[in-house]
Amino acid sequence: MTPYPFDLHSLRAFVAVCEAQSMADAARTLQVTQSATSQLIKALEKQSGMTLFDRDFRPLRPTAQGLLLLDMAKDLLAHAQSVAGRLSDQSQQAIVRMGCVDSFTGACGGPLVRALSNRVREVSLWSGLTPGLSGALEQRELDIAICTVSPLTDTRITQRFLFSEQFVAVVGKSLLEGRAPTMATLAKLPLMRYSRRSVIGQQIERYLLHIGIQAPLKYEFDATDPILDLVSAGEGYAVTTPLCLWQARHYLDQLQVMPLTPSKLGSRGFFCLSRVGEWQALARQVEDVTRYIVMNDVLPQLRKHLPDIAADAIDVTPAH
């Protein structure tokens, strides 16, 4: 590989000497010693194979080759400064790759991307399950991930708590005939489960076991839509979350919500994950925008369609 004939430090010193017409004055401008400035110029002449100054004159004058290099060096240094500025402000990079769990994408993805559109030049939004998204972040396939489990064991990943949401039960209004749902009512119905290969499925199963609900396994789904389709048709009940309900909001008017037994296991948290030292300003904006969306858009709309849902069904206060 052919070596470069000069480095940026030497070029900066060369331009400073040309402008000051003195090693001593250039050294003061660069805030280094005169000896260090002289060594940089000698190294540049050695690397380039050119004599850059006519040292028989005072003040110093560049040679013909020196004048040619001076003209090009200013452009090179200006470009290097531009590159450094762009690297320090990641928002000016071409694309930010963001991954979100499916329910978050469906409920908040559009408003979040619109809010970020003035901050970044381009956004790529992935949707998936927490294990796949956190793995993609670790493999540098994503820059930011919004997941429901915090990777506390990975010191390379930093996290920001976004919000938590409570588990709620939903049943079709057609089954109730105007009556309020009770646990006794639900116990007679099949449970429409989330797949236990998903994080939400595992979390709900632990919670149900904790509060003593042991429903036979009959139905299991990867997505909220088929669950709520069957529930709204009177085929059973489901345990889900406010965000999942808003993701499948076309079913809301056919559902009745029922709060469940309070428990530390009765909720799930959302976290914004990014690599340590990268995209921190954008992660802070994601945190602020997400909290605004869920508290000022999602929760009020849910309460409009489902008046029985609790006012604190979504909470932006971190658990202690």
Do domains 8-88 and 91-164+268-304 share one topology? The answer is no
User: Quick one: fold of 91-164+268-304?
Assistant: D-Maltodextrin-Binding Protein; domain 2 (3.40.190)
Would you say residue 245 has pLDDT above 70? yes
Class of domain 8-88: mainly alpha
Integer Cα distance of 165 and 145 in angstroms: 18
Q: For 146-171, what is each residue's pLDDT tens digit?
A: 999 765 567 888 989 999 999 999 99
User: Quick one: fold of 166-259?
Assistant: D-Maltodextrin-Binding Protein; domain 2 (3.40.190)
Q: For 39-93, what is each residue's pLDDT tens digit?
A: 988 988 888 888 888 888 788 888 888 888 888 888 888 877 776 665 555 545 5
Q: For 16-53, what is each residue's pLDDT tens digit?
A: 988 988 889 989 988 888 898 899 889 888 888 888 88
Integer Cα distance of 298 and 247 in angstroms: 10
Per domain, the residue ranges of the chain are 8-88, 91-164+268-304, 166-259
* Long-range contact set of residues 34-43: C-beta below 8 Å, sequence gap at least 24: 37/13, 40/9, 40/10, 40/13, 40/14, 41/10, 41/13, 41/14, 41/17, 43/10
